[in-house]
Amino acid sequence: MGDKNRQEHARFDYENVAALQQIIKKTGVKIPVNTSYERLRESVSIGSGKAANRLSVLPMEGCDAKADGSPSSLTVRRYKRFAQGGAGLIWVEATAVVPAGKANPRQLILTKENLASFQSLAALIDQQAAVEPYKVLQLTHSGRYSRPVDKPAPQVAGRSQYLDKPGLQYDVLADEELDSLIPAYVKSAKLAQLAGFNAVDIKACHGYLISELLGARYREGRYGGSFENRTRFLLNIVDAVRQAVDIDIAVRLNAYDELPHPYGWGVRAEDCRQPDWNEMTSLLKLLEKKGVTLVNLTGGNPYYNPHVNRPYDSGPYKPPFHQLIHAEKLFKAAMHAKQAVPGLCVMATGFSWFRDLALPVAAGLIERNWCDLVGFGRQAFAYPDFAKAMLSGHFDKNKCCIACGKCSEIMRDGGCSGCVVFDREIYQPIYREGRAGKPPIASLEIKEHV
């Protein structure tokens, strides 16, 4: 979805909670709303730690690491702002477990050699924090979306008529190659523990390697076909990390891919827009047994159907349904997860598009016990202080993310991502260069920003 066309197809214009409730009713969705926000202030136990409140920063890649994979000054600036913003949990962005699995040349990667820089990042988050946050590091292999140097180098679970791009060479990973990646997750988890993170996330969403394997019904061998085979890679990684490292384990999981059969995880064969919640809940039960303590439910594939995961007001195409319908599905994923595995700490996704009215929606979900935590992605780029502002009753709707999609466009153009609208000084020039088709900002000299 890297095309340059943008469609301004809708605008969020619900003045107040009553207007939102009206449109919720009209659209026929079931999204709970509550105007008492007290419960968002509650702390939440997670594994061996706790989140100081129920508001969280989702993993948001800045594509601005140094060449050795360590955080640059721009990366550090982002987490300093997030920490100061007062969220109870900070989920640090995609961090590759091997160089070949980087989604872009500037993706973070944690190694023995750069461990000190990640220790400093974790320490800085603690020092700067308005409240002591629970810190998760997301571990990833980008699979089909690997682009470790300057051009795509996909490593896939299998070929796909929907996702393969003409002219690209696709390397289908053999079972033995997948086996050999498991130690890389363990090594990264050990380093994350030494760096001071509370948890590692074994990322299993958005079409990246583990996520693609979950839907690999068409694949032969130990990692494809049956539910047992498709979930084996993720479960083996969890086992291996659990045995070797004393750190909490989280999983950011696609609840559904919305990819047509025989591709796609968590979808009905006859209509991929209809979730099959059984796949997700069966897997969550296994993950809990294996000691996973935190999950965040998400969906879709940002390269194929970005509206699924991030409801937007303007973007590369007009989403098939009202954003509320897509948001409801994300929230229901959390609800089904919480119902099926009440002991797991469940975080919901899908709030940024609601702007200031995310607050009553978040409070509604918490009140109904649909989730324990609520995660914000683009809102954190636009308004890093969102949590402090929400909890203090001083939320400024004029500082909200407007779901314009520009942070995604920067990423697709090869630049460093951030908020073009509210962090303009830094990100507008990067955005403009990318749109003008100038060489990717991967070569950009990142200035001292801290």
Ligand X SMILES: Cc1cc2nc3c(=O)[nH]c(=O)nc-3n(C[C@H](O)[C@H](O)[C@H](O)COP(=O)(O)O)c2cc1C
Q: Which residues bind ligand X (CB under 6 A)?
A: 58-61, 93-94, 138, 203, 205, 252, 298, 309-310, 349-353, 376-379, 407-408, 411, 417
Nearer to ligand X, 191 or 205 (CB): 205
Nearer to ligand X, 63 or 224 (CB): 63
Q: How far apart are CA 81 and CA 399, in angstroms?
A: 15
Q: Is 156 helix (H, G, I), strand (E, B) or coil?
A: strand
Question: Residue 205: in which H helix or E strand, if any?
Answer: none
Q: How far apart are CA 107 and CA 115, in angstroms?
A: 15
Nearer to ligand X, 201 or 279 (CB): 201
> What is the nearest approach in angstroms of ligand X to the Cβ of residue 175?
26
Question: Residue 427: in which H helix or E strand, if any?
Answer: helix 424-435
Nearer to ligand X, 206 or 217 (CB): 206
In total, the chain counts a number of residues equal to: 450
> What is the nearest approach in angstroms of ligand X to the Cβ of residue 260?
22
Nearer to ligand X, 219 or 382 (CB): 382
Nearer to ligand X, 146 or 352 (CB): 352
Nearer to ligand X, 217 or 406 (CB): 406
> What is the nearest approach in angstroms of ligand X to the Cβ of residue 203?
6
* 404, 353 contact by CB (below 8 A): no
> What is the nearest approach in angstroms of ligand X to the Cβ of residue 174?
26
> What is the nearest approach in angstroms of ligand X to the Cβ of residue 221?
27
Alpha carbon distances (Å) from 162 to 60, 262, 303: 26, 11, 11
> What is the nearest approach in angstroms of ligand X to the Cβ of residue 107?
8
Nearer to ligand X, 77 or 217 (CB): 77
Cβ-proximal residues to 432 (8 Å cutoff; 6+ apart), any chain? none
Q: Which residue is nearest to ligand X (CB)?
A: 377
> What is the nearest approach in angstroms of ligand X to the Cβ of residue 222?
26
Residue with tokens 């583990």: 210
Q: Is 343 helix (H, G, I), strand (E, B) or coil?
A: coil
Cβ-proximal residues to 395 (8 Å cutoff; 6+ apart), any chain? 356, 359, 386, 389
Strand partners, 373: 347
Cβ-proximal residues to 104 (8 Å cutoff; 6+ apart), any chain? 61, 63, 147, 411, 414, 442
Nearer to ligand X, 163 or 219 (CB): 163
To the nearest 10°, the Cα dihedral for 30, 296, 102, 92? Answer: 120
Beta strands in 180-300 (DSSP E): 199-202, 248-256, 294-299
> What is the nearest approach in angstroms of ligand X to the Cβ of residue 338?
18
Question: Residue 200: in which H helix or E strand, if any?
Answer: strand 199-202
Q: How far apart are CA 97 and CA 101, in angstroms?
A: 7
> What is the nearest approach in angstroms of ligand X to the Cβ of residue 401?
7
Nearer to ligand X, 142 or 229 (CB): 142
Q: Closest Cα partner for 440 from 192, 151, 218, 210?
A: 151
Q: Is 201 helix (H, G, I), strand (E, B) or coil?
A: strand
> What is the nearest approach in angstroms of ligand X to the Cβ of residue 30?
19
